[in-house]
Chains A and B, each alone.
Chain A
Amino acid sequence: MFDQLSDRLQATLSDVRSRGKLSESDVDAAMREIRLALLEADVNFKVVKTFTKTLKERCLGSDVLDSLDPGQQVVKIVNEELAALMGGTGSELAIASSGPTVILMAGLQGSGKTTACAKLARFFGEQGKDVAVAACDVYRPAAVEQLVTMGGRAGAHVYEQGTDADPVAIAEWALEQAHAERRDVLIVDTAGRLHIDGDLMDELARIRKKTRPHDVLLVVDAMTGQDAVGVAESFAEAAEFDGVVMTKLDGDARGGAALSVKAVTGKPILFASTGEKIEDFDKFHPDRMASRILGMGDVLSLIEKAEQQVDEQAADDLREKLRTDQFTLEDFLTQMRQVRKMGPLSGLIGMLPGMGAMKELKNADVDEGELDRVEAIILSMTPAERVDPTIINGSRRKRIANGSGTRVQHVNQLVKQFDQMRAMMRSMASGKMPDAQQLAQMSGGAPRPKMRRR
């Protein structure tokens, strides 16, 4: 996400950084580049104007230009200002002190409200909350069915009355149900509406009045252009939303909407939806996102993700196995599954500092299908084969390939890669870092014919 904006800003800043001394005209030139980069990233025209003005004033301060490393100072300022533009260190949802926390979701058609409802429901469910969703989109054909399916998948209870009831009445009824059934959270899905549609905006205001939500969230498509600001302003008026859910951040959107909305409405981005799967949904951290845009990585998020998923005992066991060189295909499978729980691998790569600049890795398309195939192959092996792959002879290979629906060369490839990995782990255990080539061999799904084991 934000790749193109990221590339341009990084290029500009690395130029600035490489200079020992900065003149006013250097800063001017950098500001022009930044302005264009932001405009092409769909950051709102007016936001860009203000942003570059603030930035320039700060960068031309004597404390920057006279400092020992003015370039570095400029990078720091851009980072801070970007984070501030998106809302600083991040904000929290308001939670009810007693009874269900009511969250009202609003947004334009197609921004991804229904999906966001289900993802949010799962987010709370993961925290052990009892979550219900209310289906108040009675206009779009089959929207209720979609919420029933997705809400169910998220483990939430779905309150629906079909499409003949009045959305305001459904919302009220759902709230009563949520109280009676002592739910912790009630998420109210509403129909997508145009911000200039008076009747529907009025309906939204009435739902808001009747349900007295603790939080009103505006769902915004990250690919929205200059109009994002107008939309947000109108919704702010009718629904007084408290925060924003950014959707479709997994595309190559340049994030202009994300950068503009907070600046214009003063409401923070609370959540970001980053993929098709129901678990591709996370809290939004503006400061971390700013670092990511500037290629400074987001190690904090990565560590958090890992902490959520990795079982400490298992990690200790693994360390021991690595040390004693007893790592088997079975362990490999466990490891792979654990890493995959953290989300798509391509997403993880973006969080590593400096990876943004490493073109090869960034564009390395981690093929999740390839990983599925690897799983299938290992699962088709006998326990003995998993412990000692060297016993896998020709007929065993054939059997494994048949069993996993793959080909013999896939099995060969996996065994070979596993071998390489073990070799690398041995060298790591003995204190040496693997070189880039070894890493590439490991991560690369497609075999590179000329590479040879050392």
Chain B
Amino acid sequence: MATSWQEIIDLGARVPAAVPEPEAEEPQRRGVLRRLRESLSKSRQALSEELSASFFERIDEETWERLEEALILADAGAPTTAAVVERLEHEVDAGTVPADGAAVRDRLVEMLAEVASTGRAPIDLAGEPAVLMMVGVNGTGKTTTIGKIAWHLSKEMGLRVVLAAGDTYRAAAAEQLAEWAQRAGAELVRGEAGADPGSVAYDAISAARARQADVVIVDTAGRLHTQDNLMEELAKVKRVIAKQIPEAPHETLISIDATTGQNGLRQAKIFSEAVALDGVVLTKLDGTAKGGIALAIASDLGIPVKLIGVGETLEDLRPFDPTEYANALLAE
């Protein structure tokens, strides 16, 4: 089974309140496993079988070319693609990997999973309160991701969550977050439209301290990484947060749309320069896009994927599992 939420979150010494098993939701929860399987297989059926069938019947020059093509089409990018294929080819030539379809496939999945695990670490929520900041380009799914994280932390792990509506720019962004706060049973701190996002974050942390909440999740307005002034604003939000708690934000995540191409690498790089990223949330993986850009980000910048979004429902935001992902990446 894939990585669980408990495994991917570091709560430190905190002992969360016991969560009553939600009885009413039982039938739906059983459906979760089925949904997971479906959402993964909808676009990438029968992963490993197909991979071996289509790729490694014979192993020759054409195999490597097709493999290159597949990785490029998955948005893994030219440098990462070249590196992986070259290494695999080399190992097969050297005989460290037997020139046998199944063995080559297994080794490839292992390699891809290795790249995808670069810098892997749990989401650090040990602070009291812990501050998690969400950043990213417009339309990548920040607010939705925050809503779902809040729900998991609150409803499944029994943490008290405060949401900071730091997107004071986009029309109705705070309303969107308010709906999520209600669903997750989290408290929402918001400012006026156009208010300073730093002050909203500041107020939210004060509120969290006053009420002894466990986690503050700070939403920020979507911004293109090329807008220097907005990147500077983001850095300022971070500085304001650090004024309240010096080591905060303890975790800064960037949401990257799985359909994004090579530009995703630039996004991660420039956001990282502004606010030091701890991880990626790869959203919208339920489409046909493979999100190979996550490989490029991990191998180039050492920023690991921590969560993935595979659908609309709350359960569809899940901890990232490198092996599962590596398998899915190459499925037709």
Q: Chain A: residues with CB nearer than 8 A to chain B?
A: 36, 39-42, 45, 108-112, 140-146, 148-150, 194-196, 221, 223-228, 230-231, 248, 250-254, 256-257, 276, 365, 367-369
In the assembled complex, the CB of B162 is this many whole angstroms from the nearest CB of chain A, namely: 19
Q: A230-B288, A231-B288 are in contact. Are A223 and B179 (CB under 8 A)?
A: no
In the assembled complex, the CB of A415 is this many whole angstroms from the nearest CB of chain B, namely: 25
Residues of chain B in range 261-291 having any CB-CB distance to chain A below 8 Å: 261-264, 266-267, 284, 286-290
In angstroms, Cα B60 to Cα A379, docked, is 73
Please name all residues of chain B whose beta carbon is closer than 8 Å to the beta carbon of A226 when the two chains form the complex.
72-75, 261, 289
Q: A146 and B172: CB pair below 8 A? A: yes
- Nearest 7 Cβ contacts at the A-B interface: A225-B261, A110-B139, A42-B261, A149-B171, A145-B172, A227-B289, A142-B175
In the assembled complex, the CB of A1 is this many whole angstroms from the nearest CB of chain B, namely: 9
Q: A42-B75, A365-B228 are in contact. Are A257 and B261 (CB under 8 A)?
A: yes
Partner of A143, one of B140, B172, B257, B262: B172
In angstroms, Cα B222 to Cα A276, docked, is 10
Chain A to chain B contacts (Cβ below 8 Å), 19 pairs: A39-B78, A40-B262, A42-B75, A42-B262, A111-B139, A142-B179, A144-B172, A146-B173, A221-B139, A223-B261, A225-B260, A225-B262, A225-B263, A227-B288, A230-B288, A231-B287, A248-B224, A251-B226, A276-B227
In the assembled complex, the CB of A280 is this many whole angstroms from the nearest CB of chain B, namely: 11
Across the two chains, which residue of chain B brings its CB closest to A250? B224
Q: A225 and B289: CB pair below 8 A? A: yes
Please name all residues of chain A whose beta carbon is closer than 8 Å to the beta carbon of B96 when the two chains form the complex.
none
Please name all residues of chain B whose beta carbon is closer than 8 Å to the beta carbon of A146 when the two chains form the complex.
170-173
Please name all residues of chain A whose beta carbon is closer than 8 Å to the beta carbon of B263 when the two chains form the complex.
42, 223, 225, 251-254
In the assembled complex, the CB of B99 is this many whole angstroms from the nearest CB of chain A, namely: 27
Please name all residues of chain A whose beta carbon is closer than 8 Å to the beta carbon of B139 when the two chains form the complex.
109-112, 221, 248
Contact with A along B80-118 (1 / 0, CB 8 A): 000000000000000000000000000000000000000
Q: B172 and A251: CB pair below 8 A? A: no
Across the two chains, which residue of chain B brings its CB closest to A3? B226
Q: A224 and B261: CB pair below 8 A? A: yes
Q: B262 and A110: CB pair below 8 A? A: no
Instruction: Tell me what chain B mostly uses at the interface: helix, strand, loop, or mixed.
Output: loop
In angstroms, Cα B140 to Cα A221, docked, is 10
Q: B288 and A142: CB pair below 8 A? A: no
Please name all residues of chain A whose beta carbon is closer than 8 Å to the beta carbon of B264 when the two chains form the complex.
223, 225
In the assembled complex, the CB of A219 is this many whole angstroms from the nearest CB of chain B, namely: 10
Please name all residues of chain B whose beta carbon is closer than 8 Å to the beta carbon of A369 when the two chains form the complex.
229
Please name all residues of chain A whose beta carbon is closer than 8 Å to the beta carbon of B151 when the two chains form the complex.
none
In angstroms, Cα B193 to Cα A148, docked, is 15
Q: A231 and B43: CB pair below 8 A? A: no
In angstroms, Cα B173 to Cα A149, docked, is 11
Q: A195 and B288: CB pair below 8 A? A: yes
In angstroms, Cα B139 to Cα A125, docked, is 26
Given A252-B263, A252-B266, 9 more pairs with CB closer than 8 A: A39-B78, A109-B139, A141-B180, A143-B172, A194-B286, A221-B257, A223-B261, A253-B263, A254-B261
Partner of B137, one of A140, A195, A223, A365: A223
In angstroms, Cα B173 to Cα A223, docked, is 22
Q: B286 and A142: CB pair below 8 A? A: no
Please name all residues of chain A whose beta carbon is closer than 8 Å to the beta carbon of B137 when the two chains form the complex.
223, 248, 251
Please name all residues of chain A whose beta carbon is closer than 8 Å to the beta carbon of B173 when the two chains form the complex.
142, 146
In angstroms, Cα B72 to Cα A253, docked, is 17
Across the two chains, which residue of chain B brings its CB closest to A222? B263
Across the two chains, which residue of chain A brings its CB closest to B312? A139
Contact with A along B13-48 (1 / 0, CB 8 A): 000000000000000000000000000001100000
Q: B172 and A40: CB pair below 8 A? A: no
Q: A231 and B259: CB pair below 8 A? A: yes
Q: Does B206 contact A (CB under 8 A)?
A: no
Across the two chains, which residue of chain A brings its CB closest to B255? A110
Across the two chains, which residue of chain B brings its CB closest to A192? B139
Q: A40-B262, A42-B263, A227-B289 are in contact. Are A109 and B284 (CB under 8 A)?
A: yes
In angstroms, Cα B137 to Cα A276, docked, is 12
Q: Does B69 contact A (CB under 8 A)?
A: yes
Q: B171 and A150: CB pair below 8 A? A: yes
Contact with A along B43-74 (1 / 0, CB 8 A): 10000000000000000000000000100111
In the assembled complex, the CB of B309 is this many whole angstroms from the nearest CB of chain A, namely: 10
Please name all residues of chain B whose beta carbon is closer than 8 Å to the beta carbon of A230 when the two chains form the complex.
288-289
In angstroms, Cα B287 to Cα A226, docked, is 13
Q: A196 and B288: CB pair below 8 A? A: yes
Across the two chains, which residue of chain B brings its CB closest to A230? B288
Please name all residues of chain A whose beta carbon is closer than 8 Å to the beta carbon of B170 when the two chains form the complex.
146
In angstroms, Cα B292 to Cα A36, docked, is 18
Residues of chain B in range 162-216 having any CB-CB distance to chain A below 8 Å: 170-173, 175-176, 178-180
Partner of A142, one of B72, B138, B176, B225: B176
Please name all residues of chain A whose beta carbon is closer than 8 Å to the beta carbon of B261 when the two chains form the complex.
42, 223-226, 228, 253-254, 256-257
In the assembled complex, the CB of A154 is this many whole angstroms from the nearest CB of chain B, namely: 11
Q: A110-B140, A251-B224 are in contact. Are A223 and B260 (CB under 8 A)?
A: yes
Residues of chain B in range 207-257 having any CB-CB distance to chain A below 8 Å: 224-229, 257
In angstroms, Cα B311 to Cα A439, docked, is 53
Q: A195 and B287: CB pair below 8 A? A: yes
In angstroms, Cα B229 to Cα A368, docked, is 9
Please name all residues of chain A whose beta carbon is closer than 8 Å to the beta carbon of B73 when the two chains form the complex.
45, 226
Please name all residues of chain B whose beta carbon is closer than 8 Å to the beta carbon of A231 when the two chains form the complex.
259, 287-288
Please name all residues of chain A whose beta carbon is closer than 8 Å to the beta carbon of B319 when the two chains form the complex.
none
In angstroms, Cα B137 to Cα A252, docked, is 12
Across the two chains, which residue of chain B brings its CB closest to A256? B261
Please name all residues of chain A whose beta carbon is closer than 8 Å to the beta carbon of B297 when the two chains form the complex.
none
Q: Does B141 contact A (CB under 8 A)?
A: yes
Please name all residues of chain A whose beta carbon is closer than 8 Å to the beta carbon of B178 when the two chains form the complex.
142
Q: B175 and A145: CB pair below 8 A? A: yes
In the assembled complex, the CB of B293 is this many whole angstroms from the nearest CB of chain A, namely: 7
Across the two chains, which residue of chain A brings its CB closest to B140? A110
In angstroms, Cα B76 to Cα A39, docked, is 11
Partner of B287, one of A36, A108, A221, A368: A108
Q: B288 and A109: CB pair below 8 A? A: no
Please name all residues of chain A whose beta carbon is closer than 8 Å to the beta carbon of B289 when the two chains form the complex.
225-227, 230
